[in-house]
Amino acid sequence: MLKKFSIILPVRNGGELVKRCIQSILSQTNQNFDLLILDNCSIDGTSEWLQSLDNEKIKIFPSTRPLTIEENWSRIKDIPKNEFITLIGHDDLLHADYLEEMSNLIEFYPNASLYQTHFKFINAEGALVKLCRRMLKKYIQPAYLEAILEDKLDSTGTGYMMRAADYDQLSGIPPYPNLLFADHALWIQLTGLSFMAVSEKECFSYRLNQSTSKLSGASKYIDAFYMFLDFLSILEKKNEHLKEIIREHVPGYIQFYCTSLTHRLLKTPVNQRDGKTVASFILNCKQKADILSPGNHFQPLDQFSIRLSKLIDNNLFLQHCYLSFKKIYKKSFYP
């Protein structure tokens, strides 16, 4: 009999963390699943360890060459999957009742197109950092989109359950650089097929210190940000209700990332920026805000820290002094 769930685990050089991740998966109280591992030419012993596992639930799909993270995750849509699938980062953990709770949620909300539970944020040692913010029981697409743009929802790439057919229909997770913002785009699309149902139980743990958003360079982060804003522009053209939400909330969303990515770009050596400057990024943020929300009041240079970043970046001497200072003093001195 075909198993109901497929848990999909892309991995490269997972070390000890992937061992803990797989142990948490195999410890599910609901054993009606298989584990599909996309091994991306690991060179730290992970490949050999995976091949040593003797468990009929595990199917390994090794890549024939080293892939980018985008390429490896894109393989998900091409492998055979069961009716429902969930994706997990190799450093995250499923609690023992995750699949049991998902099964209950699907039974209670059979028409939902996306399922999620509450979760915990953990550190490198697995200790609790904080709990995710409380979610509603149901999210239709406009409410989910607004929650993302207003930063009222903790959303990660782990923990979401969906139908494999829906995932494949949407062409899987979009290949944004380092998959930044890509999960947001996918979840927004999936909520558009029906709605997202949420369990109040905490059924998985997301490891903060290993998150791609923290490890990604400024250039890729900015490119992914632009792609997500372009995705929002497409949404506006398809749905008047979504257009209203985007026009109302996107200026504040762009303001937040304009501030944070301006600072990240300023800390990045010029030879690692792919030609990007603080001034050009600020200008692009303003232009994209005007496209998505005509007549908005977003003026990035009204914020002191952004003006200061632009001033420093436009002066080679100040830029050198700033980078030298950041090597010594790691904390931000921005308000």
Q: In the structure encoding, which two tokens stand for residue 26, read together?
A: 């195999």
Q: How far apart are CA 57 and CA 36, in angstroms?
A: 8
Q: In Å, how far are 104, 132, 283 from 184, measured between CA atoms? A: 25, 16, 24
Q: How far apart are CA 186 and CA 33, in angstroms?
A: 23
Q: Average of pLDDT values for 105-120?
A: 98
Show the CA angle centred on residue 126, arms to residues 124 and 132, nearest 5°: 100
Q: Note the pLDDT of residue 316.
A: 82
Radius of gyration of the chain, Cα coordinates, nearest whole angstrom: 21
* pTM value > 0.75: yes
pLDDT band at residue 113 under the 50/70/90 scheme? very high
Q: In the structure encoding, which two tokens stand for residue 165, read together?
A: 């057919």
Q: In Å, how far are 147, 184, 196 from 141, measured between CA atoms? A: 10, 12, 8
Contact 306, 335 (CB under 8 A): no
Q: Note the pLDDT of residue 320.
A: 76
Residue 3 has pLDDT above 70, yes or no: no
Q: pLDDT tens digit string along 9-64?
A: 999 999 999 999 999 999 999 999 999 999 999 999 999 999 999 999 999 999 99
Q: How far apart are CA 313 and CA 310, in angstroms?
A: 5
Residue 2 has pLDDT above 80, yes or no: no
Q: Note the pLDDT of residue 328.
A: 65
The amino acid that residue 211 corresponds to is S
Q: What residues have CB less than 8 Å from 125, skipping those under 6 apart?
A: none
Residue 85 has pLDDT above 50, yes or no: yes
Q: Note the pLDDT of residue 334.
A: 40
Q: How far apart are CA 261 and CA 250, in angstroms?
A: 16
Residue 1 has pLDDT above 50, yes or no: no
Q: Note the pLDDT of residue 331.
A: 53
Q: Note the pLDDT of residue 333.
A: 41
Q: Note the pLDDT of residue 211.
A: 58
Q: Note the pLDDT of residue 64.
A: 94
Q: Which residue(s) pair with 121 in the sheet? A: 130, 206
* DSSP-derived secondary structure for 38-107: EE----SSHHHHHHH---TTEEE---SS---HHHHHHGGGGS---SEEEE--TT-EE-TTHHHHHHHHHH
Q: In the structure encoding, which two tokens stand for residue 40, read together?
A: 């991306």
* DSSP-derived secondary structure for 229-245: HHHHHHHHHH-HHHHHH
Q: Note the pLDDT of residue 212.
A: 63
Neighbours of 32 (CB within 10 A): 15
Q: Note the pLDDT of residue 68.
A: 96
Q: Note the pLDDT of residue 319.
A: 79
Q: In the structure encoding, which two tokens stand for residue 154, read together?
A: 């903790």
pLDDT exceeding 90 applies to what percent of the chain? Answer: 88
Q: What residues have CB less than 8 Å from 140, skipping those under 6 apart?
A: 191, 195
The amino acid that residue 160 corresponds to is Y
Show the CA angle centred on residue 152, arms to residues 149 and 155, nearest 5°: 85
Average pLDDT value for the chain: 93
Q: pLDDT tens digit string along 179-231?
A: 999 999 999 999 999 999 999 999 999 999 755 656 678 999 999 999 999 99
Q: Average of pLDDT values for 270-293?
A: 96
Q: Average of pLDDT values for 83-101?
A: 97
